[in-house]
């Protein structure tokens, strides 16, 4: 099929997922066109059937805010017309589903049909979309999509609770290309580059927004390293990073934490990891946790949103209430108490990712495109 993919091209989970999906579809022979304001960060190849179209914004002094939706819907119309796209798959409802609806209407005026598939990712529903400034337009554009998917049962339920939804919302879990994470046993995974042989390695990867509660990551680590020699890798960047650095200094653990910033090589960093910390206040799915599990890492997370659908309590890691730093630290120590226990958690975490593998999830999206188009 000929598919347009619209997403945020940044380090957020929705952009990562959309990019991985587009590349996988292209690998399977579909013609894929990314329509975004920058080349997606994880887009690591362009080929005859994988294209990128940049949405250009005209800066004009009159505008306090640039009208991005206008530029995006105009670009969608252009690309659909030029390449005869059959489906526009938009990731993150705001403003992508709204812009896609407008593009579809404009195309209809010219006798061109395109179907819109909207995938809800989380904050587009739970934080941003339900805000009174956006709710009416978000609800409208979700209802006007031809097909709607959510990345977990939890997000589906949140959407039905927060909005008046007339469409069926299908759950299609996020996926992972497990092969990309099979580098733990390879030579390039040199734990000695980041830790001493007796130290365990804890990792956190996120966009360091308040919802990720990165200060809890530092607090949990502070308690853990009092009992077990350990290092913490903090991967990513965002508004809470400097607060986390200040707290680490106050708690006297700054020299045991590596703040690594954003990385395109998350799989390589995760291969060092023993335990992944994700103490989020809200999380529709927790793609970062799934990536960690694929890299043989046990997960300590909260029980917020869709996290229990990914991280199985007592099997792949542990779940705690939001903010319960004590419980998260104790659970981390349980996992790290001896090598055999740690190995068991790591192996079960890795095994659990099979149900989120690319070959299971990709056909579900292909079916949805077919249904939308038929």
Would you tell me which residues interact with ligand GMT (CB under 6 A)?
12-15, 17, 92, 121-123, 151, 174, 207, 209, 211, 282-287, 305
Smaller CB separation from ligand GMT, 107 or 361: 361
CB of residue 236 vs ligand GMT: minimum separation in angstroms?
10
| Distance of alpha carbon 278 from alpha carbon 328, whole angstroms | 10
Smaller CB separation from ligand GMT, 305 or 317: 305
CB of residue 154 vs ligand GMT: minimum separation in angstroms?
9
CB of residue 204 vs ligand GMT: minimum separation in angstroms?
13
Opening angle at CA 288, ends 155 and 265, nearest 5: 145
CB of residue 278 vs ligand GMT: minimum separation in angstroms?
9
Smaller CB separation from ligand GMT, 173 or 272: 173
Smaller CB separation from ligand GMT, 230 or 358: 358
CB of residue 90 vs ligand GMT: minimum separation in angstroms?
12
Smaller CB separation from ligand GMT, 279 or 286: 286
């Amino acid at each position: 099929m000929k598919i347009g993919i619209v997403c945020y091209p940044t380090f957020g989970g929705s952009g990562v997922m959309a990019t991985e999906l587009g590349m996988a579809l292209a690998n399977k022979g579909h013609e894929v066109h990314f329509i975004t304001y920058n080349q997606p960060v994880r887009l690591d190849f362009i080929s005859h059937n994988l294209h990128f179209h940049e949405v250009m914004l005209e800066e004009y002094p009159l505008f306090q805010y640039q009208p991005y939706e206008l530029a995006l819907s105009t670009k969608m119309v252009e690309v659909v017309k030029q390449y005869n796209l059959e489906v526009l798959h938009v990731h993150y409802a705001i403003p992508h589903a709204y812009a896609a609806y407008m593009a579809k209407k404009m195309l209809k005026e010219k006798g061109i049909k395109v179907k819109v598939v909207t995938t809800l990712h989380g904050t587009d529903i739970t934080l941003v979309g339900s805000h009174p400034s956006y709710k009416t337009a978000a609800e409208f554009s979700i209802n006007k999509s031809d097909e709607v998917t959510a990345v977990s049962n939890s997000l589906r339920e949140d959407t039905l609770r927060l909005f008046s939804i007339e469409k069926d919302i299908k759950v299609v879990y996020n996926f992972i290309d497990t092969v990309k994470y099979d580098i733990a046993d390879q030579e390039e995974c040199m734990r000695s580059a980041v830790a001493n042989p007796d130290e365990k390695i804890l990792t956190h990867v996120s966009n360091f927004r308040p919802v990720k509660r990165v200060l809890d990551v530092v607090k949990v680590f502070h308690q853990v390293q009092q009992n077990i020699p350990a290092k913490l890798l903090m991967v990513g960047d965002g508004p809470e990073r400097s607060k986390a650095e200040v707290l680490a200094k106050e708690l006297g653990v700054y020299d045991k934490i590596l703040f690594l910033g954003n990385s395109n090589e998350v799989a390589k960093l995760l291969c060092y990891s023993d335990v992944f910390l994700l103490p989020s206040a809200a999380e529709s799915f927790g793609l970062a946790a799934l990536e960690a599990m694929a890299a043989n890492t046990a997960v300590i997370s909260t029980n917020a949103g869709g996290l229990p659908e990914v991280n199985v309590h007592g099997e792949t890691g542990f779940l705690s209430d939001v903010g319960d730093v004590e419980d998260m630290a104790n659970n981390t120590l349980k996992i790290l108490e001896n090598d055999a226990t740690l190995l068991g958690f790591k192996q079960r975490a890795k095994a659990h990712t099979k149900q989120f593998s690319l070959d299971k999830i990709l056909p579900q999206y292909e079916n949805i495109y077919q249904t939308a188009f038929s």
